[in-house]
Amino acid sequence: MTLPRIGVVIVTMGTRPRELDALLASVAKQDVAPERVVLIGNATPLTEVSADVTKIPLKENLGCPGGRNVGLELLCESGEVDVIVELDDDGLLVADDVFRMIRQLYASDPVLGIVSFRIADERGETQRRHVPRLRAGDPMRGGPVTAFLGGAHALSVPMLNEIGGWPGQFFFGHEETDLAWRALDAGWKILYEPGLVLQHPKTSPARHAMYYRLTARNRVWLARRRLPRPLVPVYLATWILITLLRTHSASGLKTWTAGFLEGLRADCGERKPMKWATVWRMTRLGRPPLI
């Protein structure tokens, strides 16, 4: 059995140097060494990073998906790796066998496209929003899913070569869903493996100033790009209702509405809707593309 070669991509804005140093140290301690670690600096020079990694400082902040695409393109084009692990710069690999487990998973399943880690805080607790399924009560239940966690995951290079990378124009929010839907539509498998853990501080996505606008805009773009036309209004109506129920901030709701309208008016990029067979496959996996 041929074991795949691992590459690592980390995107940073240079605002969490201690956490980044700890993450890079945890990567270096893995019992299977990656072929290369690529560190992307989103509008940051990376001059303070002393680790032996490939540093790519960007003059412009391309957002998380745009920055990751720089690393993906480098590793995919070089041909030196078969699987790429992407990690948030404020995360930490608490075990030293993470890459070994990933190699074994991919070596045993030729259609495995994406592996989603479990994200847990310092006490080992996983928030419900970090479980990539609707029934999120048990974060230790792994298996095939229709989504994955952007903070820690592995991507098959053959899959990326077939379906492409991140939707860079999203900048922040729902880029994982766009990539997941394209992977499923091309016949690849997404696996949630709770034994792979990234320790990450307990946070709320609403801490980002752009959260409400970009998540609303990108939700509309996602539907316009990837859903069969009859499902677009159903999907968006569902999320309008969910947002009204969940959002308790008047200013947040106002910003969300502006983002939603922006998503309807602005260019969303290439439209390539998923096949109805993929809709049925997602439904059988427990999450039809309606919620």
Mean pLDDT over the full length of the chain: 95
Cα 287 from Cα 171, distance rounded (Å) = 25
Structure-derived torsion over alpha carbons of residues 133, 134, 138, 142, reported in degrees to the nearest 10: -20
In this predicted structure, the answer to whether residue 205 has a pLDDT above a threshold of 70 is no
* E strand residue ranges, 89-216: 92-93, 112-120, 143-144, 152-156, 189-199
Same domain, 197 and 214: no
Query: Is the residue at 279 inside a domain?
Result: no
Cα 168 from Cα 67, distance rounded (Å) = 8
Tokens of 50: 């002393």
Query: Is the residue at 228 inside a domain?
Result: yes
Please compute the mean of the pLDDT values over residues 218-246 and round it to a whole number.
97
In this predicted structure, the answer to whether residue 206 has a pLDDT above a threshold of 60 is no
Total count of domains within the chain: 2
- pLDDT at position 58: 97
Same domain, 249 and 192: no
In this predicted structure, the answer to whether residue 242 has a pLDDT above a threshold of 80 is yes
- pLDDT at position 209: 58
- pLDDT at position 210: 86
Query: Is the residue at 290 inside a domain?
Result: no
Predicted confidence (pLDDT) per residue in 127-180, tens digit: 998 999 988 889 999 999 999 999 999 999 999 999 999 999 999 999 999 999
Same domain, 113 and 220: no
Structural domain range at position 81: 6-203
- pLDDT at position 80: 96
Reported pTM? 0.95
